[in-house]
Amino acid sequence: MLRFTDTMPFDTKLKVNTIRILRRRDIPEGLWTKCEECGEIIYNKTLEEDAKVCPKCDYHFTLSAPERVAQLTDEGTFQEFFSEVRSGDPLKFKGPKSYVAKIKEDQTATGLTDAVVTGVGQVNGTKLALGVTDSRFIMGSMGSVVGERLTRLIEKATAEKLPVVIVSGSGGGARMYEGMFSLMQMAKTSQALAKLHEAGGLFISVLTNPTMAGVMASFASLGDLIVAEPKALIGFTGPRVIEQTIRQKLPEGFQTSEFLLEHGMIDKIIHRRQLKGALHQYINFFNRS
C-alpha cells in the first residue's frame, strides 16, 4: 500500500493522491469506449455524435442495423418490410447450443428478429429500398430469413422501380445451422438482382467491416456500384486461412477495402460521414442517365 513520507517527491504524492481519489470516486460504467485501432479512450456521447468514428485515428466502429438505418435515411421515412419472415430449424441442429436457442439468445441480445433489416425509406428526399445486415446476430450470416427478406426487397424494388442499397457486414457467410438451405440463398439473391438488372434497376452495394464468405460471393459483389468504408475487411475467407493453405505470406493490407480498390475489385471508398450524401448523388445521377 502506498503511503506518504516526508522524503517522497511532491509529484509522486500528487499521483498517489489522484489514484486514491479515482478509486473512491463512483464513476458510472458505460460512459467511455476504447478505440480498437489506436487505443484512444472516447466519451460515448462524442462517439455517437460523430457517427461512431474515432476522432483520433478515423477507425470506423461497427454499427448495428438500426443505427445504420438511422444514419442513412431521413428521419421518420423508413418503413420496415418482411419482418414477419422468421427462421425455422430445418436440420433440427444439435450442438453445444441448438439453433433455436442461438436464435433466441441473439434476438434477446440485439433486439432484432434476424441478421438483416429490410425496408423502404428516403435519403435526402429520394426514395430507395434498403437492406442492412447486422454482424451481431450470428455474425451477420446469411440463412433462409436473410436471403428471403433481401430477395423480397429486391423484387419489391423491381416492381416499384426503386433503387436498391444493401449495406453488408457479415463475418459469417452462409449459416451452417441451415446447411444447404443457407447456401441456396446465394443463388436466390443473385437471381433476384439479375432480374432487377434486366428491368433497368440500380443496385448499390455498400461493404463494411467485415464482409466475407457467402455474402461477398453472392449479392454483395454484384452491385452496379460497389463502395466500401475505409479499412474494411472484405473477401471470401480470412487471411490466416489463406496463408495456412498456400503457405505464403500475403501482401500488406490484403483484403482491406484500400487493397481491393487498388486492384479494381471495388469502385470507391467512402467515409461514413459522407456515405448518405454520396448515395443520394449516385442515385440521382443514375436516375437521370
Kindly report the CATH number assigned to the domain that includes residue 149: 3.90.226.10
**What does the longest C-alpha to C-alpha distance in the chain come to?**
84
Do 10 and 87 lie in one domain? The reply is no
User: How far separated are the first and last CA of the chain, in Å rounded?
Assistant: 74
Cell of 227: 463502395
Do 71 and 50 lie in one domain? The reply is no
Cell of 163: 433503387
Do 160 and 247 lie in one domain? The reply is yes
Cell of 115: 441478421
In this prediction the pTM is 0.83
For the chain, 289 residues long, the average pLDDT of each consecutive 10-residue run is 51 50 52 86 86 88 91 95 90 87 93 95 95 91 92 97 93 82 92 96 94 86 94 79 75 80 91 94 84
Cell of 280: 443520394
Angle at the Cα of 157 from the Cα atoms of 156 and 163, rounded to 5 degrees: 165
Give residue 79's pLDDT. Answer: 96
Domain count, the chain: 2
Do 242 and 137 lie in one domain? The reply is yes
